[in-house]
Amino acid sequence: MSTVIDVSDENYKEFTDGDGAVVAYGLAACEPCQAYDAILEETAAKFPAIKVGKAKMHIPGRCREIKKTHLFETYPTTHFFAHGKLLLTREGIVEPAELAELITTLLLK
């Protein structure tokens, strides 16, 4: 069972409104996005108090509202949220140690 939650328009607001959430936006054909999946799984397992999710931007109709709200120039892109507020955007793969540090400093206060 995956610890990374599938994020779409339907659950986006609820997902990002919590105490701490990390959302990675990616495409199926994107090799860096595929490589990032393992890092996200590892991170989700390390930080059970933080929601870690992935938005599959390539599936038609699933992330239409998300695309209206956020501009994506690079995939993967990672957003860090606390209580519905976007705290930080990172483009590209965020390496495990840096991802853990960002979660600790931004979301586990």
Q: What is the pTM of this model?
A: 0.94
Query: Do residues 53 and 6 touch, judged by C-beta distance below 8 A?
Result: yes
Domains within the chain, CATH numbers bracketed: 5-107 (3.40.30.10)
- The pLDDT value given to residue 2: 57
For 31-50, the pLDDT digits (tens) are 999 999 999 999 999 999 99
